[in-house]
Structure 1
Amino acid sequence: MLTRALPGLLIFLVVTLFGIYAADLLGMFIVKLGLLPEGSASPVSGIFVAILLGIIIWNIIGLSTIFLEGVQFSVKYALRAGIILLGLRLSLTEALKLGAWGLPLIIACISCGLVVTLYFTKKLNQSNRLGTLIACGTGICGVTAIMAVSPVVKARDNEISYAVANITIFGLVGMLFYPYLANLFFANNPIKAGLFLGTAIHDTAQVTGAALIFSQMYDMEKAVDVATVTKLTRNLFIIAVIQLVSYFFFKSEGKKEEGNEYELPKWYKLIPLFVIGFLVLSFIRTIGDVTVTNTGAAFGFLDPSTWTEFYNSWSSFGSKYMLGLAMAGVGSSTNFKVFKGLGIKPFYIGLIAALSVGSVSLLFVSLFGHLIVV
């Protein structure tokens, strides 16, 4: 299969690399406009650009049948490999730094994102698959959550593309606007500001960008640390949420799939192998960090700089190249007419969800933020 998929994979690799390059250029342009501080990472996802390029290739240029095997391979295998490697980005010890009060705030915001989005998805009579993708992207960790959940709920390519675009747009708006809102409500309190930015904005890069804006404008570097820890802790919930949304999705939609009766799978069958792989690598990252702290060497033989370079390079490879490859494949199998046919209602759902999560975060941080010490 790999041999037959090779032509398509090479094309998508080029698309992925160009998407990453284009996203970096857009980030530099935003910095030059003064919307982000110097040295900030691009708030535009290379994955999002790869999806757009894939859609253009399929709908404008056209894709020969010789590349179709590559589409299937990248969407199925590259996607799962990328998600597994993301586990190296998350150390479980980071969650402990927030203390007992930080986790309820994170859980409240995640719950809000899930409940509000799925409620309005049903009220507006939209696809449960699309609503689930937008819910997880809004509540947990943006594009990463969408890609992690999509194979579990068997999302269609156009639904994945729409959800990613939705999350990217509202995440960017939040990144540019929320630092000023944080200062309005939490002036001179970097912990509260960091908690708000880390729970109200969708994607990790966008959270970091917003925290840097706040830090450099109001001279509060502590906000960057708090926002980052909060966001990474929030990302960890992807493991539990995948199981939760899988259960409810199969319970509501799986009983009747294409007109046929369908029995709800056993709970252990709702745990995809890539989630287990993600969790295993997250434990490896945690053990490495703990041994660095306690002995000065990861696992007793890797010096801290080597260990940091190891997990950064592999997690970056997963997030940039594997997931980029997968999303280029998703875009290249998305019919623009069908994508357009999803209409404006899912956009409204994403807007309502984003505003709801931001409001809950603002409320909870205002009421309980003083109890959290980082």
Structure 2
Amino acid sequence: MTTTTRPPPPPPASSSSFGAKLRDELGACVPGVVFATAVFVASAEVASRVSIATGTPVSAVPVAILLGAALNNAPGGVSLVPSATRPGIAVASGRLLKVGIVATEVGELGAFAVPAALTSVGAGLFFIPRLAATFSLAPKLGSLLAAGTSICGVTAIGALSPAIAATQAETAVAVANVVAFGTAGMLTLPYVARYFFADCPEAAGLFLGLAVHDTAQVMGAGMAYEQRYGDEKAYKVAAVTKLMRNLLLAAAIPALAAAHGKGGYGVKTAAAIPPFLLAFLSVSALRSAGDAYFASAAAGYDDEEKEKEEEEEEEEEEKLKLKRRETLERRWRTTVKYVGGELAPTFVGTALAGVGLSTSASVVRGVGATPFLVGAGGAAVVGGVGLASALTLASVLPKYRARQSEKESAAAAAKAKAKEFAE
């Protein structure tokens, strides 16, 4: 009787092999991230020298994108970007951008950004497919153009394309529109925002967050506005407004799939929300909770501890508690300022240099003019709604703040009067 010897089973993957794989992946990414960072640093130096020479502030963001695109699209169709840097450039233009967005401080204005985003996205999803039908474009292409223009650029196109079974050619044309008009908007709309909203950075940020296509492009436009005009508020509002648009992706993808007879089957709403958005909202909640804690602590000291100090000598334990609280608050403010003011702009700038290094002119070659006419019309619709929303905010916000100031003054006066009466 012949016995068959079975080969031993393969050994289970050890932690050392996992560590080696992780090291290999990180090693493959480092050259590209360093290369993108070098492009951003060089762009910042060029922008600084041009600013000094001309006396006009020049942002490093468009310089980084244009320099990266020039390196990737040299004359003769040659790319000067080393092939070894490609994996890292993809990480820089994708994951690093998301880390930068999560690290960005959250501005106010959420209550107005939500209806403004709903109006802008709704207008694009309604008008662009009808405009595409007028120009005899395929319905699926019209929906891809609507999603890319209205919601979040390439991310929306990538999510919608398999849901409606769009062809590769239709997807490529929609992406080309986002690249063309989103880049044009990123480079030009900061000047439009300044022209209309020089005295209202919140409105400028809202306009940029609604009118520019892709998330990376909005961050680039907001950072360009901040660097050129020294206005950080507009940058933060633009980021928050864009993320409000991105959240609408979860509802828009099933709806568009249903419109094409797919019924939205197989489209998971939760999967349509990028994980970095959840991280952004979590960090936002943490920031708000921290600010609220220290604000309430300060108010408690003003109302209780200060009165106690005036009436009798404060006990040593209370002094130590106050000192620890002040130290903790100082560290909190320093950390928030560093992460939001230093770390986030560096990550976003490096990511946008990676976007430029990843941009290829071949994306827009060989595409007819008709899809771009529809794309231009769609960009005008979404941008027009964004401008109208920002103009509304610019007219409403001063009145709202004046009313809030009056309420605070009245409350302070009533409190002072009550205290005087009690004494």
Whole-angstrom distance in 1 between the partners of 2:144 and 2:327 = 41
Equivalent pairs, count = 333
Given the superposition, is the C-alpha separation of residues 273 and 115 from structure 1 closer, same or farther in structure 2, using an over 3 Å criterion? Answer: same
CA contact (8 A) 2:219 2:238 kept: yes
Matched to 2:331, the amino acid is L
Whole-angstrom distance in 1 between the partners of 2:104 and 2:134 = 37
Matched to 1:308, the amino acid is K
Is 2:244 the counterpart of 1:237? yes
Q: 2:115 aligns with which of 90, 100, 104?
A: 104
Whole-angstrom distance in 2 between the partners of 1:349 and 1:32 = 41
Cα shift at 1:60 = 1.0
Whole-angstrom distance in 2 between the partners of 1:252 and 1:241 = 17
Secondary structure of 1:340 counterpart: coil
Counting only pairs closer than 5 Å after superposition, residues 174-213 of structure 1 correspond to structure 2 as: 174-181=189-196, 190-191=199-200, 195=203, 198-199=206-207, 202=212, 203-204=218-219, 206-207=221-222
Cα shift at 1:102 = 6.4
Cα shift at 1:304 = 1.2
Match of 2:8 in 1: none
Structure 2 residues not aligned, in runs of 5+: 1-20, 162-167, 213-217, 298-324, 402-423
Q: 1:13 aligns with which of 33, 39, 48?
A: 33
Cα shift at 1:272 = 3.6
Matched to 2:289, the amino acid is I
Whole-angstrom distance in 2 between the partners of 1:14 and 1:81 = 12
Whole-angstrom distance in 2 between the partners of 1:121 and 1:5 = 43
Is 2:85 the counterpart of 1:50? no
Is 2:109 the counterpart of 1:95? yes
Which digits, 9 at most, give the CA deviation of each residue in 1:41-100, with x for residues without a partner? 435163564355345599414888x74xx7467547972453144122142x6135xxx6
Whole-angstrom distance in 2 between the partners of 1:313 and 1:302 = 16
Is 2:101 the counterpart of 1:86? yes
Given the superposition, is the C-alpha separation of residues 309 and 101 from structure 1 closer, same or farther in structure 2, using an over 3 Å criterion? Answer: closer
Structure 1 residues not aligned, in runs of 5+: 137-144, 184-189, 217-223, 257-261
Match of 1:277 in 2: 279
Cα shift at 1:9 = 3.1
CA contact (8 A) 2:129 2:146 kept: yes
CA contact (8 A) 1:105 1:361 kept: yes
Whole-angstrom distance in 1 between the partners of 2:253 and 2:92 = 20
Cα shift at 1:157 = 7.7
Whole-angstrom distance in 1 between the partners of 2:234 and 2:76 = 39
Matched to 1:198, the amino acid is L
CA contact (8 A) 1:149 1:242 kept: yes
TM-score in terms of structure 1 length: 0.65
Match of 1:351 in 2: 376
Match of 1:320 in 2: 349
The more displaced of 346-355 and 232-241 is: 346-355
> Once superposed, what is the RMSD of the aligned Cα atoms?
4.7
Q: 2:367 aligns with which of 342, 345, 349?
A: 342
Whole-angstrom distance in 2 between the partners of 1:195 and 1:305 = 28
Whole-angstrom distance in 1 between the partners of 2:53 and 2:27 = 39
Is 2:270 the counterpart of 1:247? no
Cα shift at 1:322 = 4.9
TM-score in terms of structure 2 length: 0.59
Cα shift at 1:365 = 5.5
Match of 2:185 in 1: 170
